[in-house]
Structure 1
Amino acid sequence: MSVFTPVSDAAMSDWLAGFAVGRLVSLKGIEAGVQNSNFFVTTGLGRYVLTLFESVPRADLPFYLNLMAHLARHGLPVPAPIADRSNEYLGSLSGKPAALVSRLAGSSVADPDAAQCARVGAMLAGLHLAGQSYGRKQENPRGAAWRAAAAAAVMPHLPVADAALLQEELAAQAALDALPLPTGVIHADLFRDNVLWDGEHIGGVLDFYFACHDTLLFDLAVTVNDWCANPDGGLDPARYAALVAAYHLDRPLEEAELAAWPLMLRRAALRFWLSRLEDFHLPRAGELVTVKDPAEFRAILLSRRTGVAPLPSFVGTPAIR
């Protein structure tokens, strides 16, 4: 959510004239994140978030915006897209595809506890269940083809040991592609900074612009790798057990998923190590750009390669939701 494309107050005011949300009061760029240009927008009638899409093809955007509207109708705490006076979610501003969504209450947490992880697990299961009735389908843009292309792009910039690690992991991941695992709509980026907390409850789930149709287990692995990781990359047992048990309570994991779990955790770590290597070694120009340290997910990948703690037994009640 960096700012690659600036927007003036005058341009914003003109664009808002096509909506029924009131006149512009304030506009502020959001510095966190790495993919799109985002702004807090306050009008006389409410608070919103403006997103300018920097790299996502315009033709793909209705999938994301209609998904958010679908999940919001199902009661999940996601930003609801705001339709303009022509009843369209997607418009154009400063030469980029643009959308306005509701701004949700709360703030992210850096150090979640087990109870918060349980709530995130339950919320993710609810998202997966609600997504089963979503009619549109879009494959993961960060799937196998992207992994191969990104690896080829960053490989010349890596130390010998990291290049060898990357090649080994790409080869190992081929074993997952043939497994018959449950699929559906996934968030694909459910990190701590994409969840807002309003007291002890989840006030909002943000940034659906990596959402896609893929294995549900991959989404759970992405979430566990961020919410349950210690600074050294290892998994915190209490947070790990709480998150996965709460998820399993609402969407029970199948035997094939349990067998695939250790390698899926590695795939999730590899995906974000690769994307951070891309951002670090091949950055895009931007006015306010956040580049995250690839070393964090290298450590997580190394930890998952050495072994993963057993999944919870699922006997008894997980942390209170």
Structure 2
Amino acid sequence: MAIEEHAPSTGTSATADSRQAVEVLYSTVDPKWVARLVADEYDLGVPDDCRLLFAGHNDTYEVSVGGGSYAFRLHTRGKWWLRGEGDVRFELDLLTHLHRHEVPVSYPLPRRNGDLLGTIPAPEGERFYSLFSWAPGAPPSGELTVDQAYLVGQTLATIHVTADLHTPEHPRYHLDVATKLDRPLAELDEAIRAAGAEDEQTIRHHAGEIRAQLAAFDPGPTGWGIIHADIQPLNYHFDADDNITIFDLDMCGYGWRAYDLAYCYTRTGDPQRSAMLDGYQSVRPLSDAEHSMLTTFGRLAWIAHDGRPVARLAQLMRDPYYSGSL
């Protein structure tokens, strides 16, 4: 297997001969080797082409077979939301369930032995792989149209209500106060302390308000359950007829449904925001308590977003709908 290894911090690569000289953070695999693996493990035929699309949280390859395309994913190890095999299988089983109920998602395909998941050896340790149906179309170019925003909200609600019909066989993490507030605040603590006094005070104040409001919040009987947790334009495609396909449920877990909606709702302008909310409520109406929490969940979603500069985060605490630059 042809592997390129990547060392931490510098982002440099190393050959197998210098493997002992670096601490391997992650590796990427030659697309030609991926193509051979797909030919051997899946009943699709011999791929015509394979190319690496994205290397990051996961490595994603486009595999072309007989005029059709598939997405091959090498799951990255060591992320806080991916503790082991059960976490990956939770996602794959959920996607299979959603697909069987005709929810428009990219879904996993079985290997020849019927398993949805396989493993390969890698310098950083064993890695899981899976193959998905292709999401036709492309991410929205620029601002969503009103019709597209409505469909995003409607499809997200459909995922929520359909997930309630699913009984998972594997455990999965909770997107709760500890995960979405305590963890990112701890990671940002040094940067927040180094920020200006006004920005630090703003972030600390709103974090305290969020914590208090969550403690008093009753999500109701269907307001807590399986959510996507990363519903944003890079994770859904629209085709030429504006049909949507949602993918990358890598971060899915148990959380507040209103948080899932607020994650994309606060990142959308009007009138698209109103259309998104209308689309969601056409399938799953929000309770009054959930509706009143959308702005709070929007602030929480900004805090939980990795890599947010402190000055920008402070502005988003003041106005979670802010779309300008600093």
TM over 0.5: yes
**Residue of 27, 40, 49 corresponding to 2:62:** 40
Mapped to 1, the partners of 2:215 and 2:321 lie a distance apart of 18
1:243 partnered with 2:291: no
8 Å CA contact retained: 1:225, 1:269: no
In 1: Cα distance, 2:158 partner to 2:134 partner: 21
Superposed CA RMSD in Å reads 2.5
1:275-319 CA-partner distances (Å, limit 9, x unpaired): 124xxxxxxxxxxxxxxx78766544331399xxxxxxxxxxxxx
State the match for 2:75 in structure 1. 53
1:66 lines up with 2:93 in the alignment: yes
Mean alpha-carbon deviation: is it higher for 9-18 or for 96-105?
9-18
Structure 1 or 2, whichever has the larger Rg, is 2
Paired amino acid for 1:259? S
Counterpart secondary structure, 2:54:
coil
Per the alignment, in what secondary structure is the counterpart of residue 37 of structure 1?
strand
Q: Give runs of aligned pairs for residues 1-150 of structure 1, distance below 5 A.
A: 4-16=26-38, 17-31=40-54, 34-44=56-66, 46-54=68-76, 55=79, 56-57=82-83, 58-95=85-122, 96-109=127-140, 110-136=142-168, 138-140=172-174, 143-145=177-179, 147-150=181-184
Shift of 1:148: 1.9
Residues 130-149 of structure 1 show CA distances to partners (whole Å, capped at 9, x for unaligned) of: 11111125233575245323
Q: How many residues align?
A: 278
Q: Where does structure 1 lack aligned partners over 5 or more consecutive residues?
A: 229-235, 278-292, 307-321
CA shift in 2, pair 1:27/1:298, >3 Å: farther
TM-score (norm 1): 0.78
Aligned partner of 1:303 in structure 2 is 319
Instruction: Answer whether contact 1:36 1:52 (CA < 8 A) is retained.
Output: yes
> Which letter does structure 1 place at the counterpart of 2:209?
A
Shift of 1:101: 0.6
Measured after TM superposition, the shift of residue 155 of structure 1 is 2.2
Q: What TM-score results when the alignment is normalised by the length of structure 2? A: 0.77
Which of 235, 248, 272 pairs up with 1:194? Answer: 235
1:139 partner amino acid: Y
Letter in 1 for 2:129: A
CA distance, structure 2, for counterparts of residue 155 and residue 305 of structure 1: 24
* Deviation, structure 1 residue 154: 2.7
Contact 1:30–1:38 (CA<8 Å) still a contact in 2?
A: yes
| Aligned residue identity for 1:130 | T
Matched, 1:254 2:287: yes
Mapped to 2, the partners of 1:294 and 1:77 lie a distance apart of 36
Which runs of no fewer than 5 residues in structure 2 stay unpaired?
A: 1-5, 7-25
Which residue is equivalent to 2:218?
Answer: 180
More displaced 10-residue stretch of structure 1: 150-159 or 73-82:
150-159
Counterpart in the other structure of 2:185 = 151
Greater strand percent: which structure?
2
Match of 1:160 among 184, 195, 199: 195
Deviation sequence 1:110-163 (CA, Å, 0-9, x none) = 321212111111111111111111112523357524532332223223442344
Q: Which amino acid aligns with 2:162?
A: A
Percentage identity across aligned positions? 21
Measure the CA separation in 1 of the matches of 2:211 and 2:113: 46
What's the CA shift for 1:271? 1.5
Report the Cα distance in structure 1 between the residues aligned to 2:102 and 2:310, rounded to whole angstroms: 35
**CA–CA distance in 2 between the matches of 1:112 and 1:80?**
24
